[in-house]
Amino acid sequence: MAIKLRKADKVFSLWIKRRDGFTCQRCGAKHEEGSRGLHCAHFITRRNEATRFDPDNTDSICYGCHSFFHQHPEEHRKWKADRLGPELFFELTTIRKRTIVKKDDKAVILKYKEEL
């Protein structure tokens, strides 16, 4: 079942891609702004509202690397843990993941639009 993208997702996704210089964080492939080949990939699914807009939970990943991670979740886990380091990875996957947050798309849009 596909998760519906909200306007806040689109603003956040652009912010992540700009943060990462429109470059796949796994293989280093560069993409033009607006390219559909670069994804804002979530480690913890977007279904989890607590980490949906958490910059530590997302990376700019090209289509090929994103597909690879979906087919090899343990490789994704290892890569993400190495990328964040053990303490931040633990915090993201245990504490932040379980935090109850109120859905507030307006605040998300304001925050990331302002930073764009």
Residue 1 resides in a domain: no
Specify the number of domains making up the chain: 1
Residue 2 resides in a domain: no
For the cut 80, the answer to whether the pLDDT of residue 1 exceeds it is no
Residue 46 resides in a domain: yes
Write out pLDDT tens, residues 6-59. 999 999 999 999 999 999 999 999 999 999 999 999 999 999 999 999 999 999
The range of the structural domain enclosing residue 40 comes to 7-115
Indicate the pTM of the whole model: 0.93
Mean pLDDT score of the chain: 96
Burial of 112 (0-12, 13-18, 19+ CB in 10 A): buried
Evaluate whether 41 touches 58 at the Cβ level (below 8 Å): yes
Residue 78 resides in a domain: yes
∠ CA 72-49-62, nearest 5°, is 35
